[in-house]
Structure 1
Amino acid sequence: MMEIEGQVRVAIRDALNRKSRKPFYWGGLKGYEQLEAIAKALGEVACDEPETDYLQQLRRRVDRVVERYRVNVEDLREAHTWLRRIADCLRYPPSDSAPDLDLSSEQVKREMEELLQSFQPDLKRRPAQAALYGAWHRTWRNYGPDLLHCYDIPGLPPDNLMLESLFGRLRRHQRRVSGRKSTRELRDFGQYQVLFLAESEEELLEQIRQVPLEEYRENRQRLEEAEAPRRLLHRLHRDPLGTMRGLVKQHAARRAALSSTAAQSSLTGDT
C-alpha cells in the first residue's frame, strides 16, 4: 500500500509542477485539471474503510487547493479558449490535407479584426485574459502584416516547427543514450544523425540487427526499469481520472489482501 500511496503523491507533485509548452499547452491549467481528477478519484474512497486515513488526508489537502484556485483557473481557461479561437482564425496548425485555395490574406485579416473587436474581457478582474488582450493586440500590430503573406504564397509555411521538432527528437535521443542533460555532442555529430536517419522499418531493423541480441535485451531491461516512473506520468497526463481510479483500486485490493492474510493468521493462531 505504501508504494501505491507513493504513486498518488507523485501524481499530486506532478500536477503542481506541470511545465508549459507554448502556445497551446498550458502547464498550470493542465495541472489544475489533473488535481481535479485526483480529488474526484480520492473522493470515491469510502471514509469508513480501514487503512484509508492517509488517502483521506491527501484528499482534504487536494480539495483545499482545488477550491482555492477555482476562480483563477476559470479566468485561465477562458483565456485559453480565446487563444484557440485565434489559432482557428489563422488556420493553425496547418492542415495535412490540401490547402484551401480560396483562403486569402484579406479574409484572414478581416476575421482577425472581427475577433479582436469581440474580445472585451474585464481587464481589472481577469488578469489572464488581460495579459492575452495586451499580447494579442501588440503581436498582431507588430507581426500581423508579415504573417499574412503565408496565405497568399502557396507552400510558404507559417513556422519552422517541423525542423525544430527534428532537432528536439535528436536532443532527447542523445540524452537517453548519454544519460546527461548536455547535448553538446550534437554540435559535432548531429549532422551525421540527420543524414543516416532510418526512412523505413526495414532500414531501422537492419540498423538494430547490428547490435548483439543479449546486449540489446540487457539494455532494454534497464531502459524499462528507468522509464517506469515516466510511464506512470504519461498515463496520468493522458487520463488522470482513469489512472487515479486504477491506483485507488490497487490500494483497495492490497487492503483486502492484507485483511485476508491477517484473518488467516488469526485463525491459524487460534487452532
Structure 2
Amino acid sequence: MTTATRVCPGCDRPLWAAYKGRRVVATLEGLTRFAVQVRRCRDADCPRHNVSLRAEAEGAIALPQQEFGLDVIALVGRLRHVEHRGVAEIHAELTRRGVGICVRSVSCLLDRYDELLALSLSDPARLRRVVAEAGRVILAIDGLQPDVGHEVLWVIRDVLSGEILLARSLLSSCRADLAKLLGEVRSALQPEAEGAAGVPIVGVISDGQHSIRDAVAEALPGVPHQLCQFHYLREAARPIYEADRHAKVTLKKKVRGIRPIERAVEGRDDDEATAIRGYCAAVRTSLTDDGRPPLAASGLVLRDRLAKVAEGLDEVGAKKGLPKELTRLRAILAGGLEATDSAWPEVRAAFGRVHRAAAILRNKAGLDAAGVRRRFVGLMGEIGRHRDAAGGLDDAVGHFLKVTRSYWPGLFACYDTAGLPRTNNDLEQLFGSYRHHERRCSGRKVASPGMVVRGSVRLVSATATRLRPIERADLVPSDLAAWRALRGGLERRQEVRKMGHRFRRDPAAYLLSLKEIMIKPALPS
C-alpha cells in the first residue's frame, strides 16, 4: 500500500519514495502481512523536510507500532463493556478465535480501546453536530471521587442529548479549575472562528457545591444555574432524618424476643400457629425495612406498622382472647411503643413540612418560577413562626432554614427554562451504572482506583459502547499526535498511583531510591 498523494503538503513538490516498511498484524481473520511505501520530501527548505508520510490505509488496520488490528481492539471493548467479561475471559475468547495473545496484552488493548473511542467521541465538530439537533445545550456537571484525598473525575454532560461533552480527572475541585473545564466546553460548542456554527448554552444543573456555583458564575455569566433539589432536600432534612433514625433505633432495641415466640410454634400446623407465625413475620419485616433520605421517614413507618399490628392484636384479644405467644408479642410491642411515644409527634410534624417543601418543588400545578417561589416563601415563613414549637428539633429546623437560604438563588431556575431538570440525578445514575458494570466485569465490591485514573476515557467509552455497536472504523484516530498526548497524560497519572503503591509496600526502600536520585553526583563536564 502507498500514500494517496504524491505531492508534499508543505511545499507542493513531488514526494520521493524513501523506503518500504513491512508489517505483520494479528487480526480476527488471522495474521495480515503487508508492505507500506513511505515517502518523504527532499526539499531542505520545506517545513516537512524528511518527515515520513505513510499510507492512510495503514491506519485503518492497526495503530503505529502495534501488533494487533483495530478489529481485535474493537472486540476487546465489546466483550468488556457490553458482555462484562473479565480480562481472563476476554483472553480465552480471543484464543478461541485464533488470536495469539497473552493476558497482559488484553489489558493494554482495553486501554487502547478506551483512548481511541474517547478521542473520537470528544471531537468538537462531532459534538456540535450531535447537540445541534436540539439547537441548544443544558449542561450537567458533577464529580466522582472513590478515594478520599486523590483525584476527582469531573464529568460535563448535555442533558438533552445525553452526550458526555468532557470528562477529566483533577487533583483539586477549586473554582479556577472547574471554570477552566466549563470554558473548554463553551469554546468547543461556541467556536470563535468565523463561519463556525455555535450552539447556545441555556442552562446548567449541578449540586450545591460552592466551587461549582462560583465556576459557573465565572465561566457562564448570565446562564441560569439550577441547583439540584434532591441534594437540597437531603442536606436540609439531614438532622430531621437523623432524629427519626435515632428514635427508630431506640424502638428496635425494645422490640426483642420475636424468635422465641416463633420457636414455640415450630412443628405445629393448626390455624392458631399459622396466625402466630404471620404476626411475627409482620413484625420482623417491619424491623428490617429501612428507608433512604430525604423523604423516607423509616422510623415513623416502623412505628405506624407496629402500632397497626398492636391494634390488630387488641381487636382479636377483645373478641376471643390471645394465646400466650401473642400475649407475649403484644407486651413486647407495647414496651417499644410506650418507650418512644414522646419522640414521634415532633418528628412527624418536621417530616410533614419536608414533604410539603418537596410537593411545592414538584410543582404539579405548572407554576412559573415566581409562583413556586411565592409558595415556598409562605412555607418558610410558617416554619420560622412555629420554630418554637419544634421542641427538641429546634436546631434541626434552624438547619433546614439555613440550608434553604444557601440554596435559594438556584432553586427555581428550572421553572422558567424548558428542559432544565430539577435534579442532577441522571448524571448520578450514570456514575452508578458505570460502577455497577465495572463491578460485574472485575468482581470488585467497591470501585477501583482506575475508575478515576483512567475514568476520563473509560467512562466515555463504556457508556458509548453500551448504546451502540462500535466497529473498527470508529477507532481510527484522526490525529495520532492527539492520541499520543492523551495516552501520555493517562500513563503519567497512573505512574503517580504506582509510586504510592511502592511506598506503601516498602517505605524505606522507596525513600532510599528518592534519596539516591537527589544526591547522585553529577558527571564532570
- Contact kept? 1:32, 1:66, Cα under 8 Å: yes
1:137 aligned to which of 378, 396, 401: 401
2:283 aligned to which of 3, 6, 12: 12
What is the identity, as a one-letter code, of the residue corresponding to 2:356?
Answer: R
Q: CA deviation at 1:89?
A: 1.9
Alpha-carbon distance change, 170 to 71 in structure 1, aligned in 2, over 3 angstroms: farther
* Range with greater deviation from structure 2 (52-61 or 35-44): 35-44
Deviations 1:146-182 (A, max 9, x none): 222222221111212244356557777998x89x892
TM-score w.r.t. length of structure 1:
0.54
In structure 1, the residue matched to 2:306 is 35
- Contact kept? 1:18, 1:28, Cα under 8 Å: no
2:340 aligned to which of 52, 62, 69: 69
2:420 aligned to which of 153, 156, 159: 156
Q: Secondary structure at the match of 1:2?
A: coil
In 1, Cα distance between the equivalents of 2:334 and 2:291?
Answer: 23
Gaps of at least 5 residues in structure 1 are 199-271
What is the identity, as a one-letter code, of the residue corresponding to 2:290?
Answer: K
* Range with greater deviation from structure 2 (20-29 or 9-18): 9-18
Alpha-carbon distance change, 35 to 50 in structure 1, aligned in 2, over 3 angstroms: closer
In 2, Cα distance between the equivalents of 1:10 and 1:174?
Answer: 37
Q: CA deviation at 1:144?
A: 1.0
Q: Secondary structure at the match of 2:412?
A: helix
Q: Secondary structure at the match of 1:158?
A: coil
Alpha-carbon distance change, 12 to 73 in structure 1, aligned in 2, over 3 angstroms: same
In 1, Cα distance between the equivalents of 2:280 and 2:437?
Answer: 29
State the structure with more CA Rg.
Answer: 2
1:117 aligned to which of 357, 365, 381: 381
Q: Does 1:23 align with 2:294?
A: yes
In structure 2, the residue matched to 1:126 is 391
Deviations 1:221-268 (A, max 9, x none): xxxxxxxxxxxxxxxxxxxxxxxxxxxxxxxxxxxxxxxxxxxxxxxx
Deviations 1:47-73 (A, max 9, x none): 897992122101111022223323321
Which is richer in strand? 2
Alpha-carbon distance change, 47 to 161 in structure 1, aligned in 2, over 3 angstroms: same
Q: CA deviation at 1:76?
A: 1.2
2:350 aligned to which of 76, 79, 83: 79
Alpha-carbon distance change, 184 to 161 in structure 1, aligned in 2, over 3 angstroms: same
TM-score w.r.t. length of structure 2:
0.30
In 2, Cα distance between the equivalents of 1:58 and 1:181?
Answer: 42
Q: CA deviation at 1:20?
A: 3.2
Residues paired across the two proteins, number: 188
* Range with greater deviation from structure 2 (108-117 or 8-17): 8-17
Q: Secondary structure at the match of 1:182?
A: coil
- Contact kept? 1:42, 1:55, Cα under 8 Å: yes
Sequence identity (%): 25
In 1, Cα distance between the equivalents of 2:395 and 2:280?
Answer: 33
What is the identity, as a one-letter code, of the residue corresponding to 2:418?
Answer: P
In 2, Cα distance between the equivalents of 1:197 and 1:59?
Answer: 55
Q: Does 1:182 align with 2:453?
A: no
Q: CA deviation at 1:194?
A: 8.1
Which is richer in helix? 1
Gaps of at least 5 residues in structure 2 are 1-264, 268-273, 469-525
In 1, Cα distance between the equivalents of 2:342 and 2:463?
Answer: 48
Deviations 1:75-109 (A, max 9, x none): 211111111111122226xx6xxx93xx3322222
Q: Secondary structure at the match of 1:30?
A: helix
In 2, Cα distance between the equivalents of 1:66 and 1:141?
Answer: 37
* Range with greater deviation from structure 2 (162-171 or 50-59): 162-171
What is the identity, as a one-letter code, of the residue corresponding to 1:22?
Answer: P
What is the identity, as a one-letter code, of the residue corresponding to 1:127?
Answer: G
In 2, Cα distance between the equivalents of 1:52 and 1:170?
Answer: 54
Alpha-carbon distance change, 48 to 172 in structure 1, aligned in 2, over 3 angstroms: farther
- Contact kept? 1:174, 1:183, Cα under 8 Å: no
- Contact kept? 1:16, 1:31, Cα under 8 Å: yes
Q: Secondary structure at the match of 1:71?
A: coil
Q: How large is the Cα RMSD of the aligned pairs?
A: 4.0
Higher relative contact order (CA 8 A, sep 6+): 1
In 2, Cα distance between the equivalents of 1:41 and 1:7?
Answer: 12
What is the identity, as a one-letter code, of the residue corresponding to 2:445?
Answer: S
Q: Secondary structure at the match of 1:65?
A: helix
What is the identity, as a one-letter code, of the residue corresponding to 2:333?
Answer: V
